[in-house]
Amino acid sequence: MDLSSYFRAVLEEDRCAVVLCSLAHEIIYMNPAAQQRYAKHGGGALVGQSIFSCHNGRSRELIERVTAWFAADPSHNRVYTFRNEAENKDVYMVALRDGSGGLIGYYEKHEYRTPETAPLYGFGG
């Protein structure tokens, strides 16, 4: 069984924005939450564009430094990059690796810290 359909389904259903980038810093995938979050910057139309087109020079430098750190060692896989107090969330860059541990890209992951308000096992959401 090909797991790619399962992995895509996980990303598609994630309520947090997930943006996947190649090592050339090209946006190769945005889940629906990311497309909505970045709608004012082009949303899904950003796929195929450079991640640097929506970041300033300082951010570009940091992204390149993190990517170099990821490449330096297969155990280097996650970096905390930003705290957004207004949305009570943390943002990370996470390495994407192939089956042998080689770096193939990275992604941006948003993790909200606000406690869930839905009822436990509250079907319908």
Prediction pTM value: 0.86
- What mean pLDDT, rounded, does the chain reach? 92
Domains in the chain: boundaries: 4-112
Residue type present at position 100: S
Q: For 55-110, write each residue's pLDDT tens digit.
A: 899 999 999 999 999 999 999 999 999 999 999 999 999 999 998 999 999 999 88
Q: Which residues contact residue 43 at a Cβ distance below 8 angstroms, ignoring those fewer than 6 apart?
A: 30, 35, 36
Q: Please answer whether residues 46 and 38 qualify as being in contact, where contact means their C-beta atoms are separated by less than 8 angstroms.
A: yes
Superfamily of domain 4-112: PAS domain (3.30.450.20)
Q: Cα–chain-centroid distance for residue 32?
A: 12
pLDDT of residue 125: 52
Distance CA 30, CA 3 (A): 19
